[in-house]
Amino acid sequence: MGNKNLRSAKRAKRDEFYTQLRDIENELRHYRSHFRNKVVYCNCDDPKVSNFFHYFSYNFEELSLKKLITTCYKNRNVDIFSLHEEPERSAYIEYTGDKNDNRRPDDEEIEVKYLKGNGDFRSRECIELLKTADIVVTNPPFSLFREYLAQLVLYDKKFLIVGNKNALTYKEVFPLIKENDVWLGMGSVKEFEVPNGNRAKATFCSQRNKWFQKFGNVGWFTNLSHSRRNEELILTKKYTPDEFPHYDNFDAIEVSKVKDIPKNWGGVYGGSHYFYG
């Protein structure tokens, strides 16, 4: 059991990548109308360090939110979550807005409740909280992305989450893209803050006194509408067999860039990270 817990702790550390506030602000500005009178659940977020919690708590009134809930996974052998005087216990918090008109979340306005389990998003307690939410917004563990997204779909939740764009090709994810149940958000996330114990590929920034790791293929996955989904795509290319070769093992043609989609091709076409028809 000890070795199993140690392996779980190591995986948890490798999955800790903190989304920067500027990236959250840049993406969330495209969805403000979706949040009015909604319960937002951030179920992979330690409020001590989570910029998702920071964004929603400090913009609670501007977004006209109804409630903000956050939970965070706490491995019993790794102290990654602590609140107030009982750091050994997993907890969740609820915030229902500013009560003293100073436009910020104060300690006395944040309700702390304790969990029986470890705060894993798959636990019964966290699923019950999920059921009460309207929209889920967070950066889930990359290694559990398939399972995390499947849970959101199972419980029919609206969401905006961070993930590796390679997930577009996963057998569990591609059908959702194909059926127009999930799509990409507006922007990308190029750099994450990493905790002190997760520095393998990180670079230290002396100005911010923090460690950061760069990624080249991370973005937002959502089922919330945004302006880019309604933009008309103007096609200029015409199909020729030489420019758009046919796949040997699939009835489709290769189109390397979306802007090069041939306007006179009526069949299926694909690229390195997408298939369309």
pLDDT confidence of residue 208: 76
Three-state secondary-structure class, residue 72: coil
Across the range 185-191, mean pLDDT stands at 92
> In the predicted model, is pLDDT for residue 122 greater than 80?
yes
pLDDT confidence of residue 49: 87
Burial of 146 (0-12, 13-18, 19+ CB in 10 A): middle
Q: How far is the C-alpha of 235 from the C-alpha of 249, rounded, in Å?
A: 27
pLDDT confidence of residue 65: 97
Q: How far is the C-alpha of 171 from the C-alpha of 184, rounded, in Å?
A: 17
Answer yes or no: are the C-beta atoms of 135 and 152 closer than 8 Å. Answer: no
142 vs 55 pLDDT, higher one: 55
Answer yes or no: are the C-beta atoms of 148 and 121 closer than 8 Å. Answer: yes
Band (pLDDT 50/70/90 cuts) for residue 215 is confident
Across the range 211-232, mean pLDDT stands at 87
Q: How far is the C-alpha of 52 from the C-alpha of 42, rounded, in Å?
A: 7
Across the range 186-207, mean pLDDT stands at 79
pLDDT confidence of residue 164: 93
pLDDT confidence of residue 197: 60
> In the predicted model, is pLDDT for residue 220 greater than 90?
yes
pLDDT confidence of residue 77: 41
CA-nearest of 171, 188, 1 to 77 is 1
pLDDT digits (tens, 9 = 90+) for 128-155: 999 999 999 999 998 999 999 999 999 9
**The pair of three-digit structure tokens given for residue 189, joined into one six-digit string:** 């996330």
Across the range 74-98, mean pLDDT stands at 64
Percent of the chain with pLDDT over 90: 49
Q: How far is the C-alpha of 230 from the C-alpha of 114, rounded, in Å?
A: 43
Q: Which range, 23-27, 192-196, 248-252, has the best average confidence (pLDDT)?
A: 23-27
pLDDT confidence of residue 199: 67
Across the range 105-124, mean pLDDT stands at 92
pLDDT digits (tens, 9 = 90+) for 29-39: 999 999 999 99
pLDDT digits (tens, 9 = 90+) for 263-276: 888 888 876 544 44
Answer yes or no: are the C-beta atoms of 35 and 62 closer than 8 Å. Answer: no
Across the range 156-179, mean pLDDT stands at 92
Answer yes or no: are the C-beta atoms of 61 and 46 closer than 8 Å. Answer: no
pLDDT confidence of residue 230: 73
Domains of the chain are: 2-226 (3.40.50), 232-277 (no CATH)
Q: Which range, 72-81, 124-133, 239-248, has the best average confidence (pLDDT)?
A: 124-133
pLDDT confidence of residue 14: 63
pLDDT digits (tens, 9 = 90+) for 1-21: 333 433 443 444 566 788 999
pLDDT confidence of residue 273: 45
**The pair of three-digit structure tokens given for residue 256, joined into one six-digit string:** 């390397």
